[in-house]
Amino acid sequence: MTMNFDILRTARALSRHAEQRQALIANNIANADTPGYKARDLPPFAQVFGDGPQVTPLRITRAGHIQSTDSGALFQPMDDTGAEAAPNGNNVSLEREMTKAARTRQEYDMAMGIYFKSLDILRASLGR
């Protein structure tokens, strides 16, 4: 009997997406008054995950390991062009960022709910 754990992989990828998006949102909020700062965001999860499976980056565990040029981000950030720029060139809208943060939290909660319910089903099927 083979078991398909795609639901767990998808839930993990969604939680990683939400984690990285929340970090970008926090960075945008922190730079809300920085002249010339451009807000950044991630593409929607459905669009990114549909492009293929995400690959976990390699970790450097010894001094002789080659460092990756990728900073560990699985999803590539992009400029958030939805907001109008202020006279100082900054386009961060705190209201928009807070709305995105709440939506991202909901995505994370959904991913964790799917993950834990899937584990409950797996445990029940094993008789535990």
Domain ranges of the chain: 6-126
Residue 53 in this model has a pLDDT that exceeds 60: no
β-strand partners of 40: 79
What is the number of residues in the chain?
128
pLDDT at 83: 66
Stronger pLDDT, 51 or 85, i.e. the higher one: 85
Q: How far is CA 96 from the centre of its chain?
A: 17
The stretch 50-75 carries a mean pLDDT of 58
Does 70 have pLDDT greater than 80?
no
Residue pLDDT, tens place only, 8-51? 888 999 999 999 999 999 999 999 989 988 889 988 888 877 65
SS3 content of the chain, % helix, strand, coil (to 5): 50, 5, 50
Q: Residue 73 and residue 58: Cα distance in Å, rounded? A: 11
Distance CA 111, CA 58 (A): 23
The terminus-to-terminus CA distance of the chain in angstroms comes to 19
> Residue 45: CB partners within 8 Å, gap ≥ 6?
13, 14, 17, 18, 107
Which two tokens mark 9? 């992989």
Cα atoms in the 13 Å half-sphere on the side-chain side of 6: 5
